[in-house]
């Protein structure tokens, strides 16, 4: 087994001694492990989302659900930047705009099909992430926030003034997805059940993209890259001292955040079939940041809950007419007062998995290795052990 | 005997303050060297220069045959662009690169990753040694699972090596101070160093913990890792170190075995103070590089 594992490590001069005892495999069950429980919860959520059109297929419900999914995608991307890598980004909506505009321009001006615009969006967002990130990521915390705020506004104002982006009125008539001559607009009848609305098809596309986004971001957060991001977030110098190139780590977080936002932007462009600079105001950057902070920075389930809260609360409070944003604000204050680390913090442990304080380590050789010679030699004569070590 | 680390005439200036002023010493493979000196003598500044966190004003640091201090062409100095270029990683070696070459360090005040578990803290240090990339992480390929398994095994090996016996899944902030020190040393070892720089490893430890630390440092040396430590605890230093470099006001005032340093009048005057029962040998000269002679 050791040989098989050796393949996974690069050649290094110094290897750890074998562990003193085998810890055994970590539990994987639904109720005896955190990851198992989250997996089950995620599966239930996906099933619910897939069933939703069969329960209530009204245009309103599906539209709200799709925009909530887009918020989840955006929040997952921002969670990589803010939650994992600890880079406060106040202009995140800029990447959303880049994704929406690039897909809009490629499909309307150049006439590409929507699926072909996906790689173009991804490439554009990677470039945007590098262009904005490379010069600014040398800055720390507050300064970075101000610079990203500026970049967010630059993108919006540029879109407002260019002719190719349609100026203040934006881009209209963005086509929906079509495959081999069949478009979502055409509707479909399967086993006698009619799916008339393109909105419903589009909703399923959104589910798939968001599912990939959520699982992908979660996996990246747990791997080597995610550990590097979290290390940079907790202590940049210590991370550098551990052999992590902090600059590369930060820019990779930034690029991944940009790509996630770009894909969300493309989802929105097709969902609404029209985009304008007004959809990319600072308010939306703040809302998504709020979703991340409210849910719990760096926590996948928390951020999803936060995004759902931010996108659905104003809709659910529609009955209160103009009072709804006041109530929304009060709700936010109350949540932050009672859950300052977020609704589902990254450090949260499921209540039934909590253990008490661990018992102090037993008194062993390692904790109390005080050979008598050490006491004798405290006054300056190097102990016998030192000389033995020298001979070795 | 080849030198693992060669520091020659290292100088670091902050405005008019000379933090390090012409420091030269060598570290050989597998030895334990202590750097001592009164507060503000420039010990930590020298460490930061050696591990490439600070860019020294002049001097050279060669680790394992590789130059850590780089010189920028004078044109950039004249254009006043040196700092900008160096902040982007040109004409300098990044600390992460030095770590990959095999020099690990710990910090004076504990700098663990506070929101990571003990195990993840140690795993983080294996970043550069792990065969794992973006796609394998995203797709959870067999290679990814193998790398994660190997990483966890190594990390647990190091935790056991340093004698950590708590719960590896706890967040480090929940650990007692002594255990956090252990985790920090395990984390530094997980980078698979040839040279380990320990910045005041015994600060804040009680007597028993200091004894355990001493045996741990000797255990590390048996792995073939050279250890350089900054320490104020004279008992520990005299007991552990084979050679001692003494700094005062950024200058090196002595370099020799514990015996030689203890009896060096300059050191006694600058640092230890005059002791009644430990008279300086009459006529003892400050011994420079005496350790090397003694060893050969």
For residues B93 and B70, the answer to whether their CB atoms sit within 8 Å is: yes
Q: Mean pLDDT highest for which of A3-12, A189-198, A260-269, A364-373?
A: A260-269
pLDDT tens figures, A241-287:
999 999 999 999 999 999 999 999 999 998 888 899 988 999 899 99
Yes or no: say if B115 and B94 are a contact pair by the CB < 8 Å rule: no
CA A379 from chain center: how many Å? 57
Name the average pLDDT for chain B.
87
Residue in the structure block whose two tokens are 């090996």: B157
Task: Give the chain B residue whose CA is nearest to the CA of A392.
Answer: B222
CB contact under 8 A, A382 and B143: no
Which of B89, B134, B137, B226 to substitute to test the interface with A, most A CBs within 10 Å? B137
pLDDT, tens digit, 9 for 90 and up, residues A149-206: 999 999 999 999 988 888 888 888 888 777 766 677 666 666 655 665 666 778 888 9
Which of chain B's residues have a Cβ under 8 Å away from the Cβ of A253?
none
User: Is residue B21 helix, strand or coil?
Assistant: strand
**ipTM field:** 0.87
Please measure the distance between the N-terminal and C-terminal CA atoms of chain A and give it in whole angstroms: 30
- Token pair listed for B133: 């990339």
Beta bridge partners of B61: B7
What does DSSP say about strands B66-67 and B58-63: parallel, antiparallel, or unpaired? antiparallel
A383 pLDDT above the threshold of 50: no
Coil/strand/helix, residue A372? helix
3-state SS class at A381: coil
Phi/psi at A280 (5° precision): -120, 35
Asked whether the predicted pLDDT for residue A79 surpasses 90, the reply is yes
Query: pLDDT for B105-121, tens place per residue?
Result: 999 888 999 989 999 99
| Alpha carbon A29 to its chain's center | 25
Q: What are phi and psi of B229, to 5 degrees?
A: -130, 140
Distances in Å between the Cα of A302 and the Cα atoms of A216, A328, B117, B138 are 16, 18, 19, 21
Q: How far apart are CA B268 and CA B270, in angstroms?
A: 6
Q: How far is CA B267 from CA B261, B262, B270, in A?
A: 7, 7, 5
Which of the residues A226, A238, A381 would you substitute to probe the B interface, choosing the one with the greatest number of B C-beta atoms within 10 Å? Answer: A238
B221 to chain A: closest CA residue: A389
If we measure between CA atoms, which residue out of B205, B18, B189, B223 comes closest to residue B110? B205
Tokens 């999803």 locate to A304
What separation, in Å, do the N-terminal and C-terminal C-alpha atoms of chain B show?
Answer: 9
Closest by CA to A99, choosing from A107, A88, A89, is: A107
CA–CA separation, A383 vs B5, rounded Å? 26
Closest residue by Cα to residue A123 from A300, A307, A259: A259
Mean pLDDT, residues A228-240 taken together: 94
A192: left (phi over 0), alpha (psi -120 to 50) or beta: left
Nearest to B212 by CA among A380, A365, A377, A376: A365
Q: For residues B31 and B194, is the Cβ–Cβ distance under 8 A?
A: no
Give alpha helix (H) positions in chain A: 2-6, 34-55, 59-78, 93-108, 114-136, 141-161, 198-222, 224-234, 236-241, 246-272, 282-295, 300-316, 324-338, 372-377, 384-391
Quote the pLDDT of residue A7.
Answer: 76
The DSSP 8-state label assigned to residue A341 in this structure reads T
User: Any idea how long chain A is?
Assistant: 392
Calculate the dihedral angle through the C-alpha atoms of A157, A163, A168, A172, rounding to the nearest 10 degrees: -130
B239 and A245 within 8 Å at the Cβ level: the answer is no
Which residue is associated with the tokens 């507060």?
B39
Q: Give per-residue burial for A162-186: e unless 16+ CB within 10 Å, then b.
A: eeebbeeebbeebbbbeeeeebbee
Pick B211's closest partner by Cβ from A240, A346, A374: A374
Q: pTM of this prediction?
A: 0.86
**What is the predicted pLDDT for the residue at A389?**
42
β-pairing, B32-36 vs B243-248, is: parallel
Token digits of residue A78 = 């921002």
Contact status, residue B109 vs residue B230, Cβ threshold 8 Å: no
- The model's pLDDT over A322-355, given as tens digits with 9 standing for 90+, comes to 787 788 888 888 888 998 888 998 888 888 877 6
> What is residue A390's predicted lDDT score, i.e. its pLDDT?
42
Residue of A nearest to B120 (CA): A227
Task: Name, in order, each residue with C-beta under 8 angstroms of B151's C-beta and a sequence gap of 6 or more.
Answer: A8, A9, A224, B123, B126, B130
Cα separation of A41 and A301, whole Å?
Answer: 9
Q: What is the pLDDT of residue B159?
A: 93
Partner A contacted by B296 (CB < 8 A): no
Measured N-to-C along each axis, helices A324-338 and A300-316 cross at an angle, to the nearest 10 degrees, of 150
- The Cα–Cα gap between B56 and B58 comes to 5
Written as six digits, the tokens of B128 are 């550069």
State how far the Cα of A88 lies from the Cα of A143, in Å rounded to an integer. Answer: 9
pLDDT at site A217? 95
With contact defined as beta carbons under 8 Å apart, do A278 and A137 qualify?
no
CB–CB of A174/A108 below 8 Å? yes
Query: What 3-state class would DSSP assign to A94?
Result: helix
Contact A354, B159 (CB under 8 A): no
Whose CA is closest to B169, among A266, A358, A262? A358
**B216 neighbors B223 (Cβ within 8 angstroms):** no
Whether A234 sits inside 8 A of B115 (CB atoms) is: yes
Q: What is the mean pLDDT of residues A87-109?
A: 92
Mean pLDDT of chain A: 83
Residues of chain B with pLDDT under 70: 1, 271-296
Residue A256 pLDDT: 96
Give the number of A-B residue pairs with CB atoms closer than 8 Å: 228
Residue A241: list chain B partners with CB under 8 A.
51, 53, 95-96, 99, 104-105, 107
Contact of A306 with A343, CB cutoff 8 Å: yes
State how far residue B159 is from chain A, nearest Cα, in angstroms.
8
pLDDT higher than 50, residue A371: no
Q: Are A75 and A304 in contact (CB under 8 A)?
A: yes
**How far, rounded to the nearest angstrom, does the alpha carbon of residue B159 sit from its chain's CA centroid?**
19
Nearest-by-Cβ selection for A16 from B99, B137, B161:
B161
CB A379 within 8 A of CB B209: no
Integer-rounded Cα radius of gyration of chain A: 26
Asked if A240 and A234 touch (Cβ cutoff 8 Å), the reply is: no
């Amino acid at each position: 087994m050791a040989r098989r594992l050796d393949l996974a490590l690069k050649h290094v001069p110094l290897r750890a001694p074998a562990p003193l005892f085998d810890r055994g495999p970590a539990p994987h069950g639904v109720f005896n492990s955190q990851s198992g429980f989250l997996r089950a919860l995620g599966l239930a959520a996906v099933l619910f989302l897939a069933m939703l059109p069969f329960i209530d297929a009204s245009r309103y419900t599906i539209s709200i659900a799709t925009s909530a999914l887009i918020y989840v995608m955006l929040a997952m991307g921002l969670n990589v930047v803010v939650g994992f890598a600890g880079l406060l980004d106040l202009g995140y909506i800029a990447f959303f705009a880049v994704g929406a505009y690039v897909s809009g321009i490629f499909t309307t001006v150049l006439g590409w099909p929507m699926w072909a615009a996906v790689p173009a969006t991804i490439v554009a967002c990677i470039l945007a992430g590098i262009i904005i990130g490379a010069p600014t990521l040398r800055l720390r915390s507050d300064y970075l926030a101000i610079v990203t705020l500026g970049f967010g506004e630059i993108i919006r104002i540029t879109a407002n003034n260019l002719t190719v982006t349609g100026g203040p009125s934006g881009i209209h008539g963005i086509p929906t997805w079509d495959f081999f001559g069949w478009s979502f607009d055409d509707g479909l009848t399967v086993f006698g059940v009619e799916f008339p609305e393109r909105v419903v098809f589009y909703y399923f596309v959104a589910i798939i993209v968001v599912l990939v986004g959520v699982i992908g971001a979660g996996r990246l957060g747990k791997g080597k890259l995610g550990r590097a991001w979290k290390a940079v977030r907790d202590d940049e110098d210590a991370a550098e001292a551990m052999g992590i190139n902090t600059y590369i780590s930060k820019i990779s977080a930034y690029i991944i955040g940009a790509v996630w936002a770009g894909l969300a932007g493309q989802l929105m462009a097709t969902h609404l079939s029209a985009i304008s600079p007004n959809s990319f105001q600072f308010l939306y950057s703040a809302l998504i940041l709020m979703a991340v902070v409210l849910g719990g920075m760096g926590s996948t389930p928390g951020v999803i809950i936060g995004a759902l809260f931010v996108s659905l609360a104003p809709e659910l409070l529609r009955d209160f007419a103009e009072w709804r944003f006041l109530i929304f604000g009060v709700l936010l204050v109350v949540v932050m007062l009672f859950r300052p680390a977020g609704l589902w913090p990254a450090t949260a442990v499921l209540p039934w998995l909590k253990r008490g304080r661990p018992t102090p380590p037993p008194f062993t050789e390692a904790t109390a290795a005080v050979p008598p010679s050490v006491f004798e030699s405290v006054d300056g004569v190097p102990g016998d052990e030192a000389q033995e070590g020298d001979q070795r | 005997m080849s030198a693992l680390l060669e520091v020659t005439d290292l100088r670091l200036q902050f405005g008019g303050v000379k933090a390090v002023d012409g420091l030269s010493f060598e570290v050989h493979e597998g030895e334990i060297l202590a750097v001592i000196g009164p507060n503000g003598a420039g010990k930590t500044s020298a460490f930061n220069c050696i591990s490439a966190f600070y860019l020294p004003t002049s001097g050279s640091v060669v680790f394992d045959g590789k130059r850590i201090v780089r010189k920028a062409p004078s044109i950039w100095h004249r254009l006043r662009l040196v700092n900008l270029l160096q902040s982007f990683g040109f004409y300098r070696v990044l600390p992460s690169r030095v770590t990959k070459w095999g020099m690990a360090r710990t910090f004076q005040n504990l700098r663990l990753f506070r929101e990571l578990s003990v195990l993840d803290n140690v795993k983080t240090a294996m970043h550069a040694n792990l065969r794992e990339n973006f796609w394998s992480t995203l797709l959870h390929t067999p290679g990814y699972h193998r790398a994660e398994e190997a990483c966890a095994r190594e990390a647990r090996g190091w935790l056991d090596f340093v004698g950590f016996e708590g719960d590896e899944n706890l967040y480090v902030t929940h650990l007692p101070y002594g255990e956090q020190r252990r985790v920090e040393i395990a984390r530094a070892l997980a980078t698979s160093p040839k040279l380990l720089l320990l910045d005041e490893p015994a600060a804040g430890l009680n007597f028993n913990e200091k004894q355990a630390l001493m045996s741990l440092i000797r255990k590390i040396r048996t792995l073939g890792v050279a250890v350089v430590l900054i320490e104020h605890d004279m008992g520990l230093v005299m007991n552990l170190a084979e050679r001692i470099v003494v700094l005062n006001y950024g200058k090196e005032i002595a370099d020799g075995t514990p015996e030689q340093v203890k009896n060096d009048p300059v050191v006694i005057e600058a640092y230890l103070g005059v002791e009644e029962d430990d008279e300086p040998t009459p006529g003892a000269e400050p011994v420079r590089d005496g350790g090397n002679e003694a060893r050969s």
